């Protein structure tokens, strides 16, 4: 009987409790961008251990996040595309509502 009690009420292993605390790659990117960070592909790869950051950004855009890619001016030596979280323009929102109304989405 004691053996059955120990099996039923044993503490959760460390692996199971840690899994609930980990964030997805998408959530890590959203958290960083919502805090005002502008991230390059290389930074996302290094910071969040991602294999394909552009796919993560594409998935987030498909989920409705307004993620913009900005390239610095030509005079800048750092020409890497920087992603940032922005606010969509009224035209973009209007186009989305129009697509929903027409049944395209």
Whether 86 is in a domain gets the answer yes
Contact 68, 86 (CB under 8 A): yes
* CATH number of 59's domain: 1.10.10
Alpha carbons 44 and 26: distance in angstroms, whole number: 11
Residue 50: give the domain boundaries: 23-71+78-101
Structure confidence at residue 84 (pLDDT): 95
Structure confidence at residue 12 (pLDDT): 55
In this prediction the pTM is 0.68
Whether 15 is in a domain gets the answer no
Alpha carbons 13 and 7: distance in angstroms, whole number: 12
Alpha carbons 11 and 17: distance in angstroms, whole number: 10
Whether 3 is in a domain gets the answer no
Closest CA to 53 of 32, 35, 73: 32
Residue 97: pLDDT over 70: yes
- How many domains does the chain fold into? 1
Could you tell me the pLDDT band of residue 7, with boundaries at 50, 70 and 90?
low
């Amino acid at each position: 009987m004691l053996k059955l009690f120990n099996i039923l009420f044993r503490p959760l292993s460390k692996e199971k409790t840690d899994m609930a605390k980990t964030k997805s790659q998408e959530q890590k990117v959203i958290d960083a961008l919502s805090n005002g960070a502008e991230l390059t592909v290389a930074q996302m790869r290094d910071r969040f251990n991602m294999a394909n950051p552009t796919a993560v950004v594409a998935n987030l855009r498909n989920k409705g996040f307004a993620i913009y890619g900005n390239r610095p001016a030509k005079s800048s030596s750092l020409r890497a595309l920087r992603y940032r979280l922005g606010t969509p323009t009224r035209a973009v929102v209007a186009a989305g509502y129009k697509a929903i109304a027409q049944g395209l989405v």
